[in-house]
Amino acid sequence: MTETGAGDAIVVGDIRKSYGDLHAVDGVSFAVGHGEFFGILGPNGAGKTTTLEIIEGLREPDSGSVRLLGHNPFPRDTALLPRIGVQLQASAFFDKLTAREQLETFAALYGVGAERARETLELVGLADKADTREDKLSGGQRQRLSIACALVHDPDIVFLDEPTAALDPQARRNLWDVLRAIRARGKTIVYTTHYLDEAEILCDRVAIMDQGRILAMDTPAALVRGLDAPTRIILERGSLPAEAAAALPGADEVTEDEQSLTISSRTPAPLLAALAERGTLDGLQVRTATLEDVFLQLTGREYRA
Amino acid sequence: MKGAFKSLSAAMVKGFLRDKATLFFSFVFPLMFLVIFGLLFRDAGAEKIKIGAVGDGPVIAALEQTGAVEVQRFGSVDEGVAKVRDGDLPGLVEATGDKVLLRFAASDQAQAGTVRGLVAGVTQQLNVTASGQPPKYEFDAEQVEDASLKPIQFLTPGILSWGIAITAVFGASLTLVNWRRKQVLRRLRLAPVSPTTILTSRILVTIGVALTQALIFVGVALLPVFGLTLSGTWWLAIPVFLCGVLAFFTIGMLVGALCKTEEAATGAANIVVLPMSFLSGTFFPIDLAPPWLQAASKALPLRHMNDGITDFLVRGKGPEALLVPCGVLIAFTLVVGFVAAKVFTWEDN
Ligand SMILES: Nc1ncnc2c1ncn2[C@@H]1O[C@H](COP(=O)(O)OP(=O)(O)OP(=O)(O)O)[C@@H](O)[C@H]1O
Ligand SMILES: [Mg+2]
């Protein structure tokens, strides 16, 4: 699904956008196929929102091309707009309206009835808050309402800018189900997130961005494989002397800190067997590389979720 | 598209009705001025000067006929003089045979002068008539103002225009700033709704609110306590009213396009409307102002809205009087609207 073909829902070709000296987006190219779940990851200020807003047609790129369902999104094309649904990073609501009224207003803009608005509110788990004013909702509830506003007209492509920020773990998982269900109906989803575990679970493909450029782009599994990182086996400190650990079959490197002893290995199977033989499996953790390791290696940055 | 228009209008109306402060400043605040000034000036200019009279004769009869004074008769001179001395009456006319004597209290110079002039005038008039000669100098007086232009007659159009103006300017500018700041405008840009739909729904809501204000203010002024009397051509005030609403709506749009925050927009709207209300005859007739100020106020849309509405609501002018106020207000709408469209942005930056 990585090839750039005529059948792609989104084709972005070398887009650039500068604010003064700052290159917010500095030559980004990618394509997203129909029905694909595409994630954009990157530290704060990487250019994720700017990239999304250029694709949505909210911002004009300084240079480069965007094809959204075969059309140019900029300048504004009202024939294209009903086919995309957007949740902006900062939620956009009308003053003094209840959750239901907000959603019904947005629904009406797309010619969608109140019944569908009610269903969407239920979908994001806000049915019991339908009559609460937008400014009285909690941060996560506002976020869910904002997502509902992006989904209410059942668009072909959904753009979500950090939809799971501010959500509690329960709501996050509920939203995952909602997104998976949308995807199962053949819709395309492009989203940004700071939760790498989430991206790894949900996305068909991810792009890792920093300073306006894409550093890597592939399926999460391929990115992790490409890292070629050793498996780390973590034991409680004192359960095994460091020298003994280093002598075990398959142990490449041993490090120790206050709480734990970590053995890195590229052949974890014989190592685990040896540990089991010695009866030192208590509190044992096995960590294989994750997307987070890929991210840290690429951006060289501490992660700020 | 009709659904979008309806739902946007409904969203704006709900936002308006749920904001207590806005409701107060749109309806209660102007009404307060109308009620206070209406009651305060209810009897101003309506009260007649009283004068005491003892005896009888052509002079006293003639005084009664002028209609300018209310003649109060006394049986004896002492009784009447006591009233004058107490300050209850400005003067007492004593007519015995051909002799007319006016006793007056000098404590109120203005009233004393009026009373003296009046009695002297009536007496001389009778002298001329008695002489059988035609008067050498002819004197005629004609009233220019409509006799019924009591304070409520100019207060109602003034406060109506002012109330509508502030509501239109504040409503339009605050909606625009709020929608831009809260990213609603950006979000609307992503929906298949045309800017014309957004604009016309806002205009319709503004006109609806202004119409409600007009009905309430005129309705209250018509109550017997205030006693507004409408002229036969009151309905010609409607086009002036609509042009005025549009003019102030576009001023609001310009304010909203220029300001980034609601606080700034509130300040700017006040700076625009407040001085205008003082210079346009909202609270007192502009004819009382110095001539240069009267000339300067002709540049203000509120002045023309106020004048135009007064002309039809209470003065009963004909359709030809529509030309100036409507022309000026439409010109204002076009020029300000053009500038507003030029400086308008969908988002901050
Ligand atoms: N309107 C603007 N004017 C000037 N600079 C801007 C503007 N919008 C974004 N930037 C800058 O462009 C860069 C990229 O911003 P962007 O919002 O795309 O980042 P992001 O990846 O979405 O970050 P975050 O994770 O914090 O949402 C940032 O350095 C930001 O300061
Ligand atoms: Mg962002």
Domain limits, chain B? 23-42+150-343, 49-131
Residue environment code for B100-113, b if the CB has 16+ CB neighbours within 10 A, otherwise e: bebbbbeeeeebbe
pLDDT at site A213: 95
Q: Determine whether the shortest distance from the Cβ of A102 to ligand 1 is under 6 A.
A: no
Give Dmax (Cα) for chain B.
Answer: 96
Residue B184 sits at the chain A interface (C-beta within 8 Å): yes
Whether A112 lines ligand 1, by a CB cut-off of 6 Å, is: no
| Residue at a domain's end among A179, A203, A225 | A225
What's the structural domain count of chain A? Answer: 2
Say whether both A130 and A36 belong to one domain. yes
The verdict on residue A167 lying in a domain is yes
- Among all ligands shown, which has an atom nearest to the Cα of A299? 1
Q: Per-residue pLDDT tens for B40-66?
A: 877 665 556 788 888 888 888 887 777
Phi, psi angles (nearest 5°) of residue B146: -60, 130
Considering the domain architecture, whether residues A146 and A100 belong to the same structural domain is answered as: yes
Does the Cβ of A44 fall within 6 Å of ligand 1? Answer: yes
Cis peptide preceding A75, ω within 30 of 0: yes
Does residue A303's CB lie within 6 angstroms of at least one atom of ligand 1?
no
pLDDT in tens, B184-210: 999 999 999 999 999 999 999 999 999
Structure-model confidence comparison of residues B144 and B164, the more confident one? B164
Q: Could you tell me which chain A residue has the CA closest to the CA of B4?
A: A109
Contacts of A94 in chain B (CB under 8 A): 11, 15, 179, 184
Neighbouring-strand partners of residue B67: none
| Residue B90: pLDDT over 60 | yes
Q: Is A78 a pocket residue for ligand 1 (Cβ < 6 Å)?
A: no
Q: Residue B3 — pLDDT band, cuts 50, 70, 90?
A: confident
Higher pLDDT, B121 or A210: A210
Kindly state whether residue A173 falls inside one of the protein's structural domains. yes
Nearest to B186 among A58, A78, A93 (CB): A58
Closest chain B C-alpha to A95 CA, distance in angstroms: 6
Query: Coil, strand, or helix at residue A168?
Result: coil
* Best residue among A15, A23, A50, A209 to mutate for probing ligand 1, ranked by most atoms within 8 Å of CB: A50
Q: What is the mean pLDDT of residues B24-51?
A: 81
Least confident segment among A54-58, A193-197, B166-170, B260-264 = A193-197
The pLDDT value recorded for residue B114 is: 79
Q: Specify the pLDDT at position B164.
A: 95
Q: How far apart are CA A297 and CA A111, in angstroms?
A: 47
Distance B123 CA to ligand 1 centre (A): 92
- For residue A263, what is the domain's CATH number? 3.30.70
**Which letter does DSSP use for residue A137 in this model?**
S
**CB distance A81–B190 less than 8 Å?**
yes
- Do A198 and A63 lie in a common domain? yes
Residues A253, A266, single domain; the answer is yes
Cβ separation B189–A76 shorter than 8 A: yes
Query: In terms of domains, do A184 and A248 share one?
Result: no
pLDDT of residue A239: 80
Same domain for A141 and A89: yes
Considering only CB atoms, A97 lies closest to which of B14, B178, B179, namely B14
Q: What is the pLDDT of residues B284-328, one digit of tens each?
A: 777 778 888 888 888 999 999 999 999 999 888 999 999 999 999
Q: What is the pLDDT at residue B51?
A: 85
In testing the pocket of ligand 1, which one of A15, A22, A87 has its CB within 8 Å of the most ligand atoms?
A22
Q: Would you give the distance in Å from CA A184 to the centre of its chain?
A: 17
Q: What's the pLDDT at B147? A: 45
**DSSP assigned state of A299:** H
Contact B188 A86 (CB under 8 A): no
Q: Which of B298, B256, B257 is nearest to B280 (CA)?
A: B298
B4 contacts chain A (CB < 8 A): yes
Chain A residue closest to B6 (CA)? Answer: A108
In angstroms, the Cα distances linking A19 to A24, A48, A62 are 7, 15, 10
Return per-residue pLDDT of chain A as tens, 305 residues.
444 445 799 999 999 999 999 999 999 999 999 999 999 999 999 999 999 999 999 999 999 999 999 999 989 999 999 999 999 998 899 999 999 999 999 999 999 999 999 999 999 999 999 999 999 999 889 999 999 999 999 999 999 999 998 889 998 998 899 899 899 989 999 999 998 889 999 999 999 999 999 999 999 989 888 877 788 888 888 788 888 888 888 888 888 888 888 888 888 888 888 888 887 777 788 888 888 888 888 887 654 44
> Can you tell me which atom of ligand 1 is nearest the CA of A194?
25
The ligand placed nearest to the CA atom of residue A44 is 1
Predicted pLDDT of residue B325? 95
Q: Report the nearest-CA residue for atom 7 of ligand 1.
A: A19
What A15-23 contacts at long range (C-beta under 8 Å, 24+ apart), as own/partner pairs, is: A15/A51, A15/A54, A15/A61, A15/A63, A15/A64, A15/A65, A15/A66, A16/A61, A16/A62, A16/A63, A16/A64, A16/A212, A17/A47, A17/A50, A17/A54, A17/A59, A17/A61, A17/A62, A18/A62, A23/A211, A23/A212
Give the closest-approach CA distance of A45 to chain B in angstroms.
Answer: 17
Domain boundary among A202, A225, A248: A225
- The CA-based angle A207-A213-A217, given to 5 degrees, is 20
Domain residue limits at A234: 230-288
Tokens in use for B329?
């207000």
Residue A297 is assigned to a structural domain of this protein: no
Name every chain B residue with its beta carbon within 8 A of the beta carbon of A57: 190
SS3 A145: helix
- Which CATH superfamily, name and number, covers B49-131? Periplasmic binding protein-like II (3.40.190.10)
Domain boundary among A173, A195, A225: A225
Ligand 1: atom nearest CA of A89 is 27
Give the pTM: 0.79
Check if A155 has its Cβ closer than 6 Å to any atom of ligand 1: no
List the A22-33 sheet strands across, edge first.
Answer: A22-33, A8-19, A63-68
CB atoms closer than 10 angstroms to residue B295: 10
Rounded to the nearest 10°, the torsion over CA A136, A137, A142, A146 is -70
Q: Tell whether A82 and A168 lie within a shared domain.
A: yes
Per-residue model confidence (pLDDT) at position B253: 96
Q: Characterise A283 by phi-psi region: left (phi > 0), alpha (psi -120 to 50), beta (else).
A: left
The distance in angstroms from the start CA to the end CA of chain A is 29
Tell whether A62 is covered by a domain: yes
Shared-domain flag, residues A221 and A234: no
Cα(A291)–Cα(B225) distance, integer angstroms: 80
- The answer to whether residues A61 and A198 belong to one domain is yes
- The predicted pLDDT at position B141 comes to 62
* Distance (Å, whole) CA A75 – CA B348: 18
Residue A295, in any domain of the structure: no
Q: What is the 3-state secondary structure (H, E, C) of chain B?
A: CHHHHHHHHHHHHHHHHCCHHHHHHHHHHHHHHHHHHHHHCCCCCCCCEEEEEEECCHHHHHHHHHCCEEEEEECCHHHHHHHHHHCCCCEEEEEECCEEEEEECCCCHHHHHHHHHHHHHHHHHHHHHHHCCCCCCCCCCCCCCCCCCCHHHHHHHHHHHHHHHHHHHHHHHHHHHHHHHCCHHHHHHCCCCCHHHHHHHHHHHHHHHHHHHHHHHHHHHHCCCCCCCCCCCHHHHHHHHHHHHHHHHHHHHHHHHHCCCHHHHHHHHHHHHHHHHHHCCCCCCHHHCCHHHHHHHCCCHHHHHHHHHHHHHCCCCCHHHHHHHHHHHHHHHHHHHHHHHHHCCCCCC
The residue type of A296 is L
pLDDT surpasses 90 at B17: yes
How many cross-chain Cβ pairs, A to B, lie less than 8 Å apart? Answer: 71
Check if A50 has its Cβ closer than 6 Å to any atom of ligand 1. Answer: yes
A17 lines ligand 1 (CB under 6 A): no
Distance of CA B167 to CAs A291, B12, B211, Å?
A: 56, 14, 11
Distance CA A298, CA B13 (A): 52
Residues 6 or more apart whose Cβ sits within 8 Å of residue A152:
A85, A103, A106, A107, A110, A112, A116, A117, A120
